[in-house]
Structure 1
Amino acid sequence: MARVLLIEDDHETAGEIIAELVDRGFEVDRAATGTEGLAMARAGEADVMVVDRLLPGIDGLSIIETVRQDQVRIPVLVLSALGAVDDRVRGLRAGGDDYLTKPFALLELVARIEALLRRPAETRDTVLRVGPLDLDLLARNARREDRAIDLLPREFRLLEYMMRRKDQLLTRAMLFEEVWNYKFVPKSNLVDVHIGRLRRKVDGADEEPLIQSVRGEGFILRAPA
């Protein structure tokens, strides 16, 4: 029997969802505020989460971003009255696995939950590897072969983000949004400064560069050929 964590502040909507899910054999835990929902999500006891985007206290996307940073890999369905393409993209980029716009049919909600539960579980590896570079997410340390790399917290988050997306072009806008949680692109060289510091730590003088700049576009982390 699958267990659903529902984070929804509207009592009527929550009641309808719970009744439908229980009738179909699901166990349902409900949180009515963002703060309560985050605490329950971090416990990691659910098989799937259904999260309203607009919540009192902590908003739904902040909940998702936080649990993803905590390495909680529960699949998440985002509920929202905001149905524009940009809103859906923002929900998925925050770490949501699916997005359903209100109002919705309960049958579709159930079908989407069932589809999320059928997906293969995401890898729970606690060590990321790209070529000679290792990042231990539990011990919070980094190494390039036998050389330890001393990273500040923001540098660690930046390197983790890049290693999870190796060989992908990462624009400054993407890094501002995903690593700094900015919802806009400031007129700042903040990303370039941090990339420069990270590159000096990751790529030694006699080592093949892993972090590469693409002029006018962004940055790529690549393993040596």
Structure 2
Amino acid sequence: MTEPLPGFGGTERLRSRPAPGAVHVPGWLSPQRQRELVTACRGWARGPVPIRHTRLPGGGVMSVQTVCLGWHWQPYAYKRTADDVNGARVAELPGWLADLGRAALVDAYEDAAAGDGYAPDTALVNFYDGQARMGMHQDKDERSGAPVVSLSIGDTCVFRFGNTESRNRPYTDIELASGDLFVFGGPSRFAYHGVTKVRPGTGDPATGLASGRLNITLRVTGLE
């Protein structure tokens, strides 16, 4: 049985399945693994393609800062080179991070075979300060229906997980805290989702992240 964890406002935090194929596992990352990931993210943020605020085609700028591994994402396509930043090829996605993604699927779906054949080839690393948000969207630029593995470190956020038809209700608001795992695949792979709020000061500086939230999402692009 999942051990209850303390939550925001004193509520217990238990494993949940907000929709078919979607699983939230609180506290999945150990404190040590969180520190290791923060250190790795700092290295990736320096380049070869540095972290940046992504500019949207209409001229707007995303409030989150993003750095990519394996493939570079820019609205709304993946490329090997960051033509919208400095033209460089992004850093490779390390094998140990792909291994972590496979382990995440095994634990989330409670199935020893869930990670078989899962070969994520890109990761988007997003940094949220206290004011950053992410509007409701689908992760649909990939040509694969393989699950998305999402890891959270730092400040707690309110993650809105919706349906596959529209940005509107029904949706579920879930608090993702430092160390939490969220996986969505199968019928929920193309569900709309976003971040409506970050709660400043709720993270643990012992992770190496003094403020803000890091979110690492592993994906399979289906590209060659």
* TM-score after normalising by structure 2: 0.24
Larger relative contact order, structure 1 or 2 (CA cutoff 8 Å, min sep 6): 2
* TM-score after normalising by structure 1: 0.24
Larger Rg, first or second structure (1 or 2): 1
